[in-house]
Structure 1
Amino acid sequence: MEHEAIVLDPTGADIQGESARIRARGPVALVELPAGVPAWSVTDAAVLKSLLADPRVSKDARQHWASFINGEITEAWPLHPWVAVDNMFTAYGSDHRRLRKLVSPAFTHRRTAALRPRIATITEELLTALASTPPDESVDLRERFAYPVPIKVFTEMMGVPEHLGPGLHKCVDGFFDTSFTPEQSQANYIEMYGLVCELVAYRRETPGDDVTSVLIATRDEDDGSQLVEKELVDTLMLVINAGHETTVNLLDQAIYALLTHPEQRADVVEGRVPWSDVVEETLRYEAPIAHLPLRYAVEDIEIGDIRIPKGDAILASYAGAGRDPKVHGTTADQFDIHRTNKEHLSFGHGAHFCIGAPLARLEAAIALPALFARFPNIRLAVDPAELAPVGSFVSNGHRQLPVFLQ
């Protein structure tokens, strides 16, 4: 008997419970996105890894998504900005290779490593500001720490001038809010597009040693081509959105996990377990991006007794894959920094592997130990059950993370 598709909750109220229900239907299961749009959710880690590297799977809606091509998906669809941009996030095959080659110089190992002292300084400044909080007063660590660390790093790295910063940050939040109405989503996208165009114009006039200036100037050595204007703006939108939200959630979820697992917290704070184990286990246990829209079947794809028809949408369900019992056994739903295999796909896999993964890991590796060293008595200010998730099935974090620092 065929099941009805599981309707994804746009408010993300129970991402892991929902992922478990999808997984119970098999390695690939039909889900419903906003406005009744169907997609195949992949929660099986081995199947997802294989599909992420499969040339029969595309990210280009214009070429390969039947519903997009025949006009069923319009600008009124809340997730339209996710699928309609022109950048390496939505490119396929040789297009993707060309764009990635042009963007890669902005994310070299050297450029990332050079940010270490600046990340440490930003972290220190934020912790010093937090230290003035009265002992009996709670503070929202998502807003005051998990959010500003990557935002400040990113703003400087991208060369965003001060006057454009606040507007861009507000738009990034809106981009991930899948509970937005179509009108809100569209207005947010238009506003962000305008701000990024302003950023490009500003850096054309005043180039610096920043990612935006590098992307404006980069040419392909082989053929002299460079990013055309829409690709440039869309690429910057991708980098700003992806590079900020993922790290905010990584910091938020890691802090929450340690505050709710005191023995493990003691092991890492006292040096029995490296901080890198906390980072990788957090990425596995609570993937910062729960479900990533979208990919498409270039041709019919058989997975066991399931056939994904050509032109259908595929949803990479990283939150579900991170807790796959076939990989992580009966303890897959437990946070455990001691587990030997912390394998996850939270940064993707294959051609579209996240170009900013080393930066996210570096920020977490600096910010987390500094926080727990500065505030050894930090504790949650509310019952864990009271914490609400951000309004999204894409972004996986808490709306607030209230703590007492002293």
Structure 2
Amino acid sequence: MEQGCPFALDTTGRDIHGEAAVLRDRGPAVPVELPGGVIAWSLNGHDVIKKVLGDPRVTKSARNHWPAFQNGEIRPDWELISWVAMDNMVTAYGKDHVRLRKLTGKAFSPRRTEAFRPRVEELTDELLDGLAQAAPGEVVDLRERFAYPLPARLVADLIGMPEEARAKTAKVIDAMVDTTITPEQAQAVLAGWRGAMADLIADKRREPGEDITSDLVAARDEDGSRLTEEELTDTIFAILGAGSETTINFFDNAITALLSDPAQLELVRSGQATWDDVIDETLRVESPLAHLPLRYAVEDIELDGVTIPKGDPILVNYSAVGRDPRLHPDAPGSFDLTRADKEHLSFGFGPHYCLGVGVARLVARTGLSRLFERFPDLSLAVPREELQPLPTFIMNGHRALPVRLTVPALATTAS
């Protein structure tokens, strides 16, 4: 590693945006220390990140391109082991990535996305009906009661996972994104999600359904050369994790932003801004994914005068992209639905661009529009600055989102 002493990332995620600003000031690519003393390069500017995301000399395959992982320097109980030990379309490289992405991409066609709309609307209304049972002015955790279950249950539907299994697996995913876990917990996380996926695959072999897992199992069993058993297991988990965690935090951040600035919410209600504006501005200023472990340099890469040596790990700082003042010079940290340019990279870029963009936008648009229509008096129950961040530098969200869906009963009577 070059450039002196690495910057130690805060594993508790107490100030993701403040940390991103510090890293951005240090340079477009700077060394950082991850849990366990592992050193990586943090990319902190829009231009270098976009360049690297589309660069064929950058890979996500630790087993092929990270010497420290290949030779055993990375412990099997490393705190971030689940992020690098996977063998699926997310971590594949070259022809393997193309093969796996093609197999999985069929599940996210525009036709299948549109066919999923009735289920999105049904589950959204079911969750809102449940919220409506709260007493007037009662404080409820909207993250737990709406932002979390809506995408989590929808993605479980996509892969054909029953509710009991989804609830158990959700605890494993929560632990996986927690960067304060111990090595012992990290090993349990890896074993936990692989065991859960193996059980799901076994169920689908016995009783196939109309879901992604059944489709991939069929592809595996018809022609094993197209998909190994490990790729099958890890790909299904990648869909579950990527499709739920990011959307959960998106809802959390979008709702928080709108309730913190009534003028911005009024722009949507008056028709001066759209829910798509809300989606993109939220993704720009509050990327639900803060840092994504890990990528690796296939060969030496030059970035604005900094050389990332072959084999070095790379950490993309998504929380820094949309707030880069060189991309958005006008108040980059402010939530502004009237902003003409809302460019962000929260769905990725290049060969790993998110396959589920269509589904994600459908869920986001449906969930937000129906939530604010159903509860026009929705408000935060605590000041925004009192919301507690998740204990992670990987995700960007809150531990809880306490709100009041309606005005308190006493206030209603008084009026």
Q: TM-score, normalised by structure 2?
A: 0.95
Following TM superposition, by how much is the alpha carbon of 1:270 offset from its aligned partner in structure 2, in angstroms?
2.1
Following TM superposition, by how much is the alpha carbon of 1:3 offset from its aligned partner in structure 2, in angstroms?
4.4
Contact 1:175 / 1:241 at 8 angstroms: preserved in 2? no
Q: How far apart are the structure 1 equivalents of 2:270 and 2:102?
A: 42
Match of 1:81 in 2: 82
Following TM superposition, by how much is the alpha carbon of 1:219 offset from its aligned partner in structure 2, in angstroms?
6.3
Match of 1:110 in 2: 111
Q: TM-score, normalised by structure 1?
A: 0.97
Match of 2:294 in 1: 294
Aligned AA (2:265): R
Match of 1:245 in 2: 245
Following TM superposition, by how much is the alpha carbon of 1:165 offset from its aligned partner in structure 2, in angstroms?
2.1
Q: How far apart are the structure 1 equivalents of 2:277 and 2:249?
A: 17
Aligned AA (1:283): L
Following TM superposition, the consecutive aligned residue runs of length 4 or more in structure 1 with deviations greater than 4 angstroms are none
Contact 2:220 / 2:229 at 8 angstroms: preserved in 1? no
Match of 2:136 in 1: 135
Following TM superposition, by how much is the alpha carbon of 1:80 offset from its aligned partner in structure 2, in angstroms?
0.8
Match of 1:22 in 2: 23
DSSP 3-state at the match of 2:296: strand
Contact 1:64 / 1:296 at 8 angstroms: preserved in 2? yes
Match of 1:233 in 2: 233
Following TM superposition, by how much is the alpha carbon of 1:136 offset from its aligned partner in structure 2, in angstroms?
2.9
Aligned AA (2:381): A
1:52-73 deviation line (CA, Å, top 9, x unaligned): 1111111111121122123211
Aligned AA (1:76): D
DSSP 3-state at the match of 2:328: helix
- Indicate whether 1:375 and 2:378 are aligned: no
Aligned AA (2:306): I
Aligned AA (1:290): A
Following TM superposition, by how much is the alpha carbon of 1:127 offset from its aligned partner in structure 2, in angstroms?
0.7
Q: How far apart are the structure 2 equivalents of 1:105 and 1:225?
A: 18
Contact 2:205 / 2:214 at 8 angstroms: preserved in 1? yes
1:172-202 deviation line (CA, Å, top 9, x unaligned): 2111111111111211221121111010000
Match of 1:31 in 2: 32
Q: How far apart are the structure 2 equivalents of 1:224 and 1:164?
A: 26
Match of 2:265 in 1: 265
Q: How far apart are the structure 1 equivalents of 2:209 and 2:175?
A: 28
Following TM superposition, by how much is the alpha carbon of 1:373 offset from its aligned partner in structure 2, in angstroms?
0.6
Q: How far apart are the structure 2 equivalents of 1:97 and 1:156?
A: 25
Q: How far apart are the structure 2 equivalents of 1:394 and 1:19?
A: 12
Q: How far apart are the structure 1 equivalents of 2:168 and 2:85?
A: 22
Percent identical: 52
Following TM superposition, by how much is the alpha carbon of 1:117 offset from its aligned partner in structure 2, in angstroms?
1.3
Following TM superposition, by how much is the alpha carbon of 1:35 offset from its aligned partner in structure 2, in angstroms?
1.2
1:49-105 deviation line (CA, Å, top 9, x unaligned): 111111111111112112212321121211011001110111111111111111111
Following TM superposition, by how much is the alpha carbon of 1:377 offset from its aligned partner in structure 2, in angstroms?
0.7
Say how many residue pairs are matched. Answer: 405
DSSP 3-state at the match of 1:326: coil
Following TM superposition, by how much is the alpha carbon of 1:276 offset from its aligned partner in structure 2, in angstroms?
0.2
Q: How far apart are the structure 1 equivalents of 2:224 and 2:193?
A: 29
Contact 1:220 / 1:226 at 8 angstroms: preserved in 2? no
Gaps of 5+ in 1: none
Match of 1:284 in 2: 284
Contact 2:153 / 2:163 at 8 angstroms: preserved in 1? no
Match of 1:193 in 2: 194
DSSP 3-state at the match of 2:226: coil
Aligned AA (1:235): T
Match of 1:327 in 2: 327
1:20-54 deviation line (CA, Å, top 9, x unaligned): 00000111111111111111111111111111111
Q: How far apart are the structure 2 equivalents of 1:372 and 1:397?
A: 20
DSSP 3-state at the match of 1:329: coil
Following TM superposition, by how much is the alpha carbon of 1:220 offset from its aligned partner in structure 2, in angstroms?
11
Q: How far apart are the structure 1 equivalents of 2:214 and 2:66?
A: 34
Contact 2:82 / 2:189 at 8 angstroms: preserved in 1? no
Following TM superposition, by how much is the alpha carbon of 1:226 offset from its aligned partner in structure 2, in angstroms?
2.7
Aligned AA (1:28): A
Q: How far apart are the structure 2 equivalents of 1:395 and 1:36?
A: 20
Match of 2:125 in 1: 124
Q: How far apart are the structure 2 equivalents of 1:377 and 1:166?
A: 31
Q: How far apart are the structure 2 equivalents of 1:176 and 1:309?
A: 27
DSSP 3-state at the match of 1:39: strand
- Indicate whether 1:363 and 2:358 are aligned: no
- Trace 1:207-222 onto structure 2 (pairs within 5 A): 207-218=208-219
Contact 1:64 / 1:297 at 8 angstroms: preserved in 2? yes
Contact 1:31 / 1:39 at 8 angstroms: preserved in 2? yes
Q: How far apart are the structure 2 equivalents of 1:41 and 1:220?
A: 40
Q: How far apart are the structure 2 equivalents of 1:139 and 1:270?
A: 27
Q: How far apart are the structure 1 equivalents of 2:131 and 2:164?
A: 25
Q: How far apart are the structure 2 equivalents of 1:314 and 1:81?
A: 16
Q: How far apart are the structure 2 equivalents of 1:53 and 1:311?
A: 18
Contact 2:205 / 2:217 at 8 angstroms: preserved in 1? yes
- Indicate whether 1:311 and 2:311 are aligned: yes
Q: How far apart are the structure 2 equivalents of 1:89 and 1:340?
A: 32
Residues 146 and 83 of structure 1: CA distance in aligned 2, closer, same or farther (over 3 Å): same
